[in-house]
Structure 1
């Protein structure tokens, strides 16, 4: 298993911090697309991460903690925004963008909502491929139950990032990434401490460099 981290704040990605993260043996960093400037991955940051010898795992999250956000039309809109940001960053085609469901899903109606959301993502990605001849792959970030449901209902979702939260100690056996600890301090050898989530990859999680 390759070990990695993810964090929201792009200010963590200084040259000094990235060298120290690499020195600690981490192989990848999960970073965000979305509508919040303070955490959105930029081309400059992507180059810094890549130059440090680390890979980037991209996840789109614009909220993701309110069930009312998960609609078919919002899925299409999220996909369009994620594609635009991925192209601005220089993310290679045929690598995944994970879309986050950062909340507990229990009710039948809520599972239906996230299914609609990912169906919208899949439709928009298919349209983009039809019109442009290029595509990004689609991933889902969420609990065991979210991954299981989307795997069973939306064929075009092919990458799976499980979070420990809300998973009742169940393991999604075909996951590509596992986020096993959140909001922890990582002390670096340059003297800095950053707050991160700790992750592990099975080696095929779709990390990229620019």
Structure 2
């Protein structure tokens, strides 16, 4: 019970800005240091503190300011949003997001799927999250669907939805996925694909600032 009481007092003093020392080990205080990110001073809602001479900043706000995704849990997952193109390979399947563009007010994601196995594989587009971990913006989800595609080395456009069909053995296909409605000014997208058996997951973290 004694150590819980000490912990409570320590927390109270810590957040009130008063330095505290327990057995000459913990020394904590609010920091007066300015935080400048990419040339601009940043003010955090939660306090920036110094503990034993080391500076600590609030993790969520820091990732928001620096363009990272933050998923809190076990483990804590931090991923950097990057511009297109991006490629992920899981086993014998690789997916490349080539570009994102507007066609008749709809957002079209051009992708390439390559199957290096000797059997056909099915890849599913499972949706997107938009504006995830963006300061002062609420994230939202969208659907989408596969449209036409062109098999590698073939100039004939196939008019069926290629992500609803199997990618044949040793085949490479390129086509468009029509995303759901994207809000103007969307800063990022988390784009998810999975194999037909659900084992291989493809999670893309896309920086869309200036594209939408």
Pairwise TM-score range, normalised by the shorter structure = under 0.3
- Which of structures 1 and 2 has the larger relative contact order (alpha carbons within 8 angstroms, sep 6+)? 1
Q: Which has the higher helix share?
A: 1
TM-score, normalised via structure 2 length: 0.20
Q: Which has the higher strand share?
A: 2
TM-score, normalised via structure 1 length: 0.20
